[in-house]
C-alpha cells in the first residue's frame, strides 16, 4: 500500500534522512524505531506531505504522492498524527473529531454523529463535551488518533502515540490500535516504547542518523547488532550478548 523509495532530505547542512526506503502492505501494523534525532518524524513529514523530499519517491495505493500537499494526501486516505499533540484547544472533543469527519461528510450533524462513533471506538465517550485543552496527555494522544481516524483513512501514520503514557494507559491503548487495524486500517507507527512495538508490530524498520539500518520482525531486530549499537553505542552488542538486549532497549 505504501512504498517509500530512496528518500532523502537535507536541512541546510544537516542530512536528516538519507536514501531511506520502506514499504507497508495493506492490513499490516509496521513500526519505525530508532534513537532520538534519527529522522523518523522527518520521514513521516515527507510521507504525509508536510515536507518535500529532496529526492526519492513516495507511492501510496499505486499513486505517486511525492511532494503532494498534506490535505490532498489526507484525502487520498493517508492520515497522520503529530508527535506533540495539536488539539483544537477551544473546541470540544466532539468538535475536534468532527473536523476530521468533515473530510468525507459535508453535513454538520452527520459529522458530529460520526465523531461520536469514532470517540466510542477509542473509548472516549465520557470526554466528548470536554474542551480539548482540558485533556491529559493520554487524552490528547487519543484525540490525535481519533481525529485522524475520523477522516476515514486507509493508512494511519501514528507518531509516538505512546510517549508519556503510564503502564495502565499503555495497556489500554494497545488493543484499541489493534482493533483499528482489524477494522481495516493499515498502521505505520513511530515508537520508542518497545513493549508496544513488540506486542503490536509485525515488522519493524530501524532508522539511525537518517539511514535505514535494519528491517524484520521485532524479535529478530532486537538482536541485530547494528540496532543495538545504534541505541547503545559501538561495541555494545558484543558486550551485552543477545538476550539482554531486548530488555535494555525498552
Partner 1 sequence: MRVALVIAAVCAVALPLVVTSDFWLGFCITVMLSTLMGAAWNVLGGYGGQVSFGHAAYFGAGAYTAALLGMKLGVNAWVALVLAGAAAGLVGLLTGYLSFRYGLRGSYFALVTLAFAEVLRILAGTVDWSGGGVGLYLPLRAGAANLQFASKAGYYYVALALGAGAVLVGWAIQRSRLGAWLVAIRENEDAARALGVDTFACKLKAITISAALTGFGGAFYADYYLYIDPGIAFGPGVSVEILLAPIIGGLGTVWGPFVGALALQGAGELGRRLLGDAPGLSLVFYGVLLVVMVKFRPDGLIGMFGRFARQRPAHA
Q: How far apart are CA 31 and CA 222, in angstroms?
A: 13
Give dist(CA 120, CA 131) in Å, integer: 17
2 binds partner 1 (CB under 8 A): no
Nearer to partner 1, 88 or 216 (CB): 88
Q: How many CB atoms lie within 10 A of CB 54?
A: 15
- The interface mask with partner 1, positions 39-58, x = CB under 8 A, is ---------x-x--------
Cell 528518500 appears where? Answer: 7
The verdict on 239 binding partner 1 (CB under 8 A) reads no
Contacts of 86 (CB under 8 A, 6+ apart): 144
Per-residue binder mask for partner 1 (CB under 8 A), 68-97, x = binder = -xxxx-xx---xxxx---xxxxxx---x--
Closer to partner 1 by Cβ: residue 67 or 241: 67
Strands across the sheet containing 2-11: 14-24, 2-11, 55-60, 63-64
139 binds partner 1 (CB under 8 A): no
From 21, 23, 35, 103, residue interacting with partner 1 (rule: CB under 8 A) = 103
Name which of 18 and 81 has its Cβ closer to partner 1. Answer: 81
State the minimum distance, in angstroms, from the CB of residue 141 to partner 1: 13
Nearer to partner 1, 69 or 247 (CB): 69
CA–CA gap between residue 64 and residue 11 (Å, rounded): 23
**β-strand pairing of 203-208 with 211-216:** antiparallel
**Span near partner 1 by CB under 8 A; candidates 67-75, 175-183, 192-200, 228-236:** 67-75
Q: Dump the DSSP string for 12-33.
A: TTEEEEEEEEEEE-TT-EEEEE
Site of interaction with partner 1 (CB under 8 A): 48, 50, 69-72, 74-75, 79-82, 86-91, 95, 98-100, 102-103, 105-109, 111-112, 147-148, 150-151
Amino acid at each position: 500500500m505504501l512504498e517509500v523509495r530512496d528518500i532523502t532530505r537535507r536541512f541546510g547542512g544537516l542530512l536528516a534522512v538519507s536514501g531511506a526506503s520502506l514499504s507497508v502492505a495493506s492490513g499490516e501494523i509496521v513500526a519505525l524505531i530508532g534513537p532520538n534525532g534519527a529522522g523518523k518524524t522527518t520521514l513521516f513529514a515527507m510521507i504525509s506531505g508536510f515536507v518535500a523530499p529532496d529526492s526519492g519517491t513516495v507511492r501510496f495505493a499505486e499513486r505517486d504522492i511525492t511532494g503532494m500537499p498534506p490535505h490532498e494526501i489526507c484525502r487520498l486516505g493517508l492520515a497522520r498524527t503529530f508527535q506533540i499533540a495539536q488539539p483544537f484547544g477551544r473546541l470540544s472533543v466532539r468538535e475536534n473529531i468532527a473536523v476530521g469527519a468533515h473530510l468525507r461528510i459535508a453535513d454538520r450533524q452527520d459529522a458530529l454523529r460520526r465523531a461520536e462513533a469514532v470517540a466510542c471506538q477509542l473509548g472516549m465517550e465520557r470526554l466528548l463535551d470536554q474542551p480539548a485543552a482540558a485533556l491529559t496527555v493520554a487524552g490528547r494522544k487519543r484525540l490525535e488518533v481519533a481525529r485522524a481516524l475520523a477522516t476515514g483513512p486507509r493508512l494511519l501514520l501514528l507518531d509516538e502515540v505512546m510517549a508519556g503514557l503510564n503502564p495502565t494507559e499503555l495497556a489500554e491503548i494497545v488493543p484499541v490500535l489493534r482493533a483499528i487495524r482489524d477494522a481495516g486500517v493499515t498502521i505505520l507507527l513511530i515508537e520508542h516504547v518497545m513493549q508496544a512495538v513488540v506486542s503490536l508490530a509485525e515488522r519493524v524498520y530501524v532508522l539511525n542518523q537518517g539511514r535505514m539500518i535494519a528491517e524484520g520482525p521485532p524479535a529478530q531486530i532486537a538482536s541485530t547488532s547494528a540496532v543495538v549499537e545504534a541505541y547503545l553505542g559501538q561495541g555494545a552488542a558484543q558486550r551485552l550478548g543477545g538476550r539482554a538486549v531486548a530488555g535494555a532497549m525498552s
